[in-house]
Amino acid sequence: MNQLFTLIILFLFFVNVNAQQIEVQSDYNSIGDCIFSAHNNSKTPAFLKIDFADLENTTFNELLPYIKRLEPGFNSLFTLERDLDADVPRFNYQMKSFRSNPAADVNLDFPYLIPFAPGSKVKAFDVKSIPGFWGNKELKSWVAIGFVAQPGDAVYASRQGEIVEIVGENREGESQNWYHTWTNSITVLQPDGTLFCYKNVIDKSKKLKLNQKIYAGQLLGEVVANSQELIFLIY
């Protein structure tokens, strides 16, 4: 695991969250300030982007566009303070939600651990396509590397992050909550706001949980039966 490889990310693709999963609310208090909050109805973190236009009787003191990581459940956002010499704040805004940070600050030279046991010698290969990642569609921008592997080979985390999806042989639940359509995969939200996915990996121990923090070098699972490769995808 002491060996390192560097994945160069030229562009990032950010996955839209179904609009119903994120609910934004604005309420006026007794003096006319407008208090914004949001509810993330999904089981994993999401990112909210808000752009304001036509602000009247108030000043927005945050950077635009406003981007906020939303944890599952209730999230406080910000307050539009009323101009006390004017009427209540009036405004228009547009919002979008994403699975990953649409303004991620990515270090293009960040090294990732090879996801196999320390001392392992593995053969890597270029991944030129990712069929089935979105069914009939593919990501517009992504980077991936493949490794020749054997069923049962232990798979380790290449970088720290937070587990946002664990999929076995079959997918369950509503497709609007999926990060992709692959099975036998583990998807992780990275500290820089991007995502990475291990394909052809299974957690037989059932110890991994959604929103669990993992560290680089941590055992995640093993290569599934009847597979001869491990795909590591960043998007």
DSSP-H helix ranges across 36-178:
none
- Bridge partners of 76, per DSSP, are 37
Structure confidence at residue 105 (pLDDT): 86
Length of the chain: 235
Residues 7 and 10: their CA atoms lie apart, in Å, by 10
**CB distance 34 to 27 below 8 Å:** yes
Name the DSSP letter for residue 82: E
Over 80: is that where the pLDDT of 11 sits? no
Residues 61 and 234: their CA atoms lie apart, in Å, by 34
Over 90: is that where the pLDDT of 225 sits? yes
**CB distance 208 to 202 below 8 Å:** no
Structure confidence at residue 17 (pLDDT): 54
**CB distance 182 to 167 below 8 Å:** yes
Share of the chain above pLDDT 70, in %: 91
Residues 122 and 157: their CA atoms lie apart, in Å, by 16
Structure confidence at residue 134 (pLDDT): 86
Helix (H) or strand (E) holding 50: strand 46-56
Mean pLDDT calculated for residue range 219-230: 96
In this prediction the pTM is 0.86
Domains and CATH numbers, the chain: 4-13+106-234 (2.70.70.10), 19-98 (2.60.40.10)
**CB distance 106 to 192 below 8 Å:** yes
Residues 197 and 200: their CA atoms lie apart, in Å, by 10
176-187 confidence digits (pLDDT tens)? 889 999 999 999
Considering only residues 16 and 72, tell me which one the structure prediction assigns the higher pLDDT. 72
Considering only residues 80 and 16, tell me which one the structure prediction assigns the higher pLDDT. 80
100-157 confidence digits (pLDDT tens)? 999 988 887 889 999 999 888 899 999 999 988 987 777 888 899 999 999 999 999 9
